[in-house]
């Protein structure tokens, strides 16, 4: 099965999820306090929106890059992709919840932040599972050298470790947990795929034949720049 339908469906889900984020942005009508004051009072909404927008955008870039290198998909891969999309469409909900509770003096702020980071961690793990399945079941158009596979797994893990740590940090400082998610997004924006760190490598099992390393010549991106990169 070709990946075209999977990519089209996924693109639609990403588009809906990223649009839903903006629908929750609002300020009260004129006539109460100054606009500057109202905007400053709503900083949690804008901060959570920024982090979530970057994250979904990065996932989309990496998803696109990954499936540009996929020759075919199987039935399990379709369900793994659905698992990833399940957590992607959960991001607008947890973003609104975090924005509403971030400044609450009670434990609710910590719980909201922990749930937010938990969704990000689950999204990252599902993306890592998707990436592993593609490699393990040889769906790639060009095989990854063993060294590139190891590097990709390590880079996937960095993001997930940070998200899992942020779940615990949320009970100490919800704002710090949100900041960690933002820093993870920035890290993956500038991370490069293995294919851009070396030239070409031999395709496994083809003697000395040369084939482009995974991700070479593809879009750079984020959160794993998953030409073979990382997860979120």
Q: What mean pLDDT do residues 181-205 have?
A: 59
The CA angle 124-127-133, to the nearest 5 degrees, is 140
The predicted-structure confidence for 101-110, as pLDDT tens digits, reads as follows: 988 777 899 9
Return the structure tokens found at 25: 């942005």
d(CA 214, CA 193): 8
pLDDT higher than 70, residue 171: yes
- pLDDT tier at 111, thresholds 50, 70, 90: very high
Return the structure tokens found at 148: 């590139």
Please provide residue 114's backbone torsions phi and psi, each rounded to the nearest 5 degrees: -65, -40
| For the chain, counts of helices (H) and of strands (E) | 8, 2
Q: The pTM is what?
A: 0.77
d(CA 22, CA 202): 46
pLDDT higher than 80, residue 196: no
For the chain, the helix, strand and coil percentages under 3-state DSSP, each to the nearest 5: 65, 5, 30
- Average pLDDT for the chain: 78
pLDDT higher than 90, residue 170: yes
């Amino acid at each position: 099965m070709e990946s075209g339908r999977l990519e089209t469906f996924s693109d639609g889900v990403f588009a809906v999820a990223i649009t839903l984020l903006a629908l929750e942005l609002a300020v009260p009508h004129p006539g109460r306090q100054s606009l500057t004051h109202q905007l400053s009072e709503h900083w949690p909404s804008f901060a959570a929106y920024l982090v979530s927008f970057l994250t979904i955008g990065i996932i989309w870039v990496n998803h696109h890059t990954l499936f540009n290198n996929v020759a075919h998909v199987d039935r399990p891969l379709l369900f793994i992709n659905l698992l990833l999309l399940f957590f992607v469409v959960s991001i607008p909900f947890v973003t609104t919840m975090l924005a509403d509770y971030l400044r609450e003096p009670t434990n609710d702020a910590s719980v909201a932040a922990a749930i937010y980071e938990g969704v990000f961690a689950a999204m990252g793990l599902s993306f890592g599972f998707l990436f592993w399945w593609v490699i393990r079941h040889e769906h790639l158009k060009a095989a990854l050298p063993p060294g590139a596979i190891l590097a990709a797994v390590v880079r996937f893990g960095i993001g997930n470790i940070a998200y899992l740590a942020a779940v615990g940090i949320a009970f100490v400082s919800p704002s710090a947990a949100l900041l960690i998610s933002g820093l993870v997004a920035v890290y993956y924006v500038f991370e490069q795929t293995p294919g851009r760190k070396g030239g070409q490598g031999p395709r496994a099992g083809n003697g000395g034949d040369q084939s482009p390393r995974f991700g070479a010549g593809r879009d750079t991106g984020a959160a794993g720049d998953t030409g073979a990169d990382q997860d979120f």
